[in-house]
Every structure is written in C-alpha cells, then in structure tokens.
Amino acid sequence: MKVICDRGALLEAVNMVAAVVPTRTPTPALSCVKMVAKKHPGGGGELTLSGTDAETSITISVTHVDVQSPGQAAVPADKLRAIVSAEDGEPTLSIETDGDQVHIKGANAHFRVFGFPPADFPALPDLQATIAGEAGQAPKTIFTQSAGSLLELVGRTVFATARETSRYAINGVLMRRSGKDLEMVATDGRRLALSRAKVTGGGGSKDKETVSCIIPTRALGVLQKMARDPEETVRLVITDSRIFFAFELPGGEGKGKKDGETALPSARAVLSSTLVEGSFPPYDDVIPKDQDKRITANRDELGSAVRKASVLTNEESRGVRMAFSASTKKLKLSSRAPEMGDSEIDVDLMTYEGDDIEISFNPTFITDVLKVVTEQDVIVELKASNKPGLIRSSTNDFLYVVMPVNLPG
C-alpha cells in the first residue's frame, strides 16, 4: 500500500476512529486502526479507516487521498494519532507499507511503525450486507434523519442516563420509532428526559411498525462528534442486536439496488453498535399528568439563579429550596451548608398559575436540563413538595421529569 493523504482530513478521521479503540486489550489487533486503500475504476481513490472495541465500531472514508498502490495495514491507534498530530506543519503525508511495517513520511520526517497483520483485525459488521438482508439478521426498520434533528434528540436525553447501576438497561437511551414519530428517552431512576421528532425519511413497507431499541451511552457520545452539517442525512438501520448510523454522501444512494429498503447507500462514515439487552422501564407511568401549578420563567435567568444557589451546598445538603409565590410572581431560591453559610436568590417569573409551593431539587439536575432546552421560555409544572416536577418545552417535543429531594428544615 502506498498513499498520499491530506493531513487535516487524515487527522480528523484518525481522531474519530481512535475514539472507539480500547487503550488496553488482550487482543493486539483491537488496539489498531485498520487502513484500506482502494483505487476507483473511474479514477481517484479512497482510504478507509476502521476501529472497534468489539461492541462499537467506526468506519470512515477519506477521499482527499492519492492512492498510488492499493493495500491495507493495521497500525496501533495511539502511535498513528500521535504521528499525524505531530506533523502539524505538513499539508500532506505519505503512508507506505513494507510487510507489517508502516512508513509515514512528511517533508523532513520519517516514522517507521511496527504494525500487525491486517488479517488479524476482526471483521466489522457490514452495513450494506445488513441492509440487503445478507448479514444473518434482517433489519427491523430503516429510515433517515437529518443530522441536526438526530443530534438534538441525543443531546436532550443522553445526559440523563445512569452512569453506574446494576440496571443495565438504563445505561443507555431508548429509541422508539412508530410510523413518522421518533422519540428518545433516558433515565437514571431520579430523573427522566424525553425528546420527540418526526422521521424525515422512511424505509418503505415497515414505516407503520413500532420498533424500539436501547442504544449504549458511549456509542451516542461518539455519534455526537461525527456530524459535519446539520442538514447531512443519517441513515439508521436497526436489527435485533445492532444499530447502524450511516452519514451518507451527497448525491444519491450509491451502488446497489434502489428499491426503498434494499437501497445500498454510500457513506462517508458509519458507526455501528451492539444494543443494550433488557427492558427499559415503563416511562409513561412516571410522567406526571395532574400538575396544578404552572410556571413560565426565562431559561437563562433561572439557570443563573440555580447555579448561584448551588455554590453553598455540599454532599450532605445537596439541594436547593425553591419557593414559588403566586401573589408576587417570584421565585426565591435558598441553600444552606453547615459550617459554610447560606444563600438567597430572587427570580422574577413570567407567569404563575396555582397556589404557593416550596420544593427542593438537586441543582445539578436543574442546570443539566436548562442547558438542552432550546427555547428562551421554560415551562415548569408542579403538584406538591413530595411529587416529581415537570420541565418541558412550549412545543411539547421535550419534557423532563425530576424527583425532589428532602432537605432538613
């Protein structure tokens, strides 16, 4: 293999692929990035970089490349990333293989890296074979979504997933597609975030079926880094045990069939992940339906006040008391930490409907959600001091349920 690559495009691809490569593994080939150089029949070439930790995999195509000799290599990801990063003054880099050795050259630098046999690199899930029904599991659903819409769904939910829990199913985000309705839900047992959108492109005969899956949090974190343009099309393919996210190249379906579900897209990048096993909690049951106090507040003012009040809290008193007044349309936030001090912050409310109420929340749970609410006005609905609060958007495409905390009087 011998290729000449645009260094910037190569670094972007290496950084992305390296995100899923394990730093410690008993299988040496798993610590590598696999590189495959191909010449196109009509001219030009392509360098494909792949990485995996055996659960999540990424494949990225680099087209800013001159393929002088096709071939493949498996290069340790940490060394490849360090070399390409260090050559920051070079517009291009050449990569050439000599057996399992890989030579990377700039204008005045030559690196010889000991790689591994490419044949030792594990076979990755094949998107095109899966779409065509040739990978052992037929797709349960195939649809497309704009990158902007998809990443908004992810961003509004992934922060609420559980980090450490024996309930493995809530370590991921539930995705549920029913016809043209798409929603994602996450919970850690103390809060729940739900975001909705409309499917922008269907996949044929299975449009009306309801399909759900639980996507690992780590895979969604990688997905958030992969989009280049909010208008970019992402094709989602879900099977019984795996999900694919394919960032499609502009200009059509690519090679292969073109009859709806069996169309084989050309993709600049593909993320694949195993799905989380288990049953997601029945989230509809925990969404409050009888809130009788409704508040509208400015998102930024509320967020600033909660951050100020959280300064004087500690692990023993990890909560901020919120006192809502109907007569003055004001919110008073207060916090107290033994041997530290206390605070009081006032916030003007835009609207308030209902009786006065005092309720306490973990401030982190409030500031987290205010970061992902896109509207300037945020709606808060409450029932009682010992009942969950509801924060939602005015368009009803996002809601957030948060449990109160008990603070000493």
- pLDDT tens-place string over residues 65-90: 999 999 999 999 999 999 999 999 99
Q: Answer yes or no: do 116 and 133 share one domain.
A: no
Does position 372 have pLDDT exceeding 80, yes or no? yes
For residue 85, the SS3 value is: helix
Residue 357 has pLDDT above 50, yes or no: yes
CATH code of the domain in which 229 resides: 3.10.150.10
pLDDT at 203: 55
Write the Ramachandran bin of 251: left for phi over 0, alpha for psi from -120 to 50, otherwise beta: left
Query: Does residue 282 lie within any of the structural domains?
Result: no
For residues 88 and 207, membership in a common domain is answered with: no
Select from 249, 274, 299 the last residue of a domain: 274
Q: Same structural domain for residues 146 and 113?
A: no
Higher pLDDT, 166 or 348: 348
Instruction: Retrieve residue 316's tokens.
Output: 């023993």
The pLDDT assigned to 251 comes to: 57
For residue 280, being part of any structural domain is answered with no
pTM of the model: 0.91
Give 260's pLDDT tier (boundaries 50, 70, 90): very low
Range of the domain at 113: 2-120
Q: Are 390 and 291 in contact (CB under 8 A)?
A: yes
Share of the chain above pLDDT 90, in %: 78
Q: Are residues 226 and 331 in the same domain?
A: no
- Of 242, 274, 306, the last residue of a domain is 274
Which pLDDT value is given to residue 163? 80
Considering only CA atoms, which of 191, 187, 190, 207 is closest in space to residue 199? 207
Say yes or no: 112 and 132 in one domain. Answer: no
Among 6-10, 26-30, 103-107, the minimum mean pLDDT is found in: 26-30
Distances (CA, A) of 370 to 312, 319, 345, 350, 385: 20, 17, 17, 16, 21
Q: Mean of the pLDDT values across residues 104-108?
A: 94
What values do phi and psi take at 349, rounded to 5?
Answer: -100, 145
Where are the strands (E) in 137-190, listed by range?
A: 141-146, 172-178, 181-187
pLDDT at 327 over 60: yes
Same domain? For 200 and 316 the reply is no
Coil vs helix vs strand at 18: helix
Asked, for residue 279, whether it belongs to a domain, the answer is no
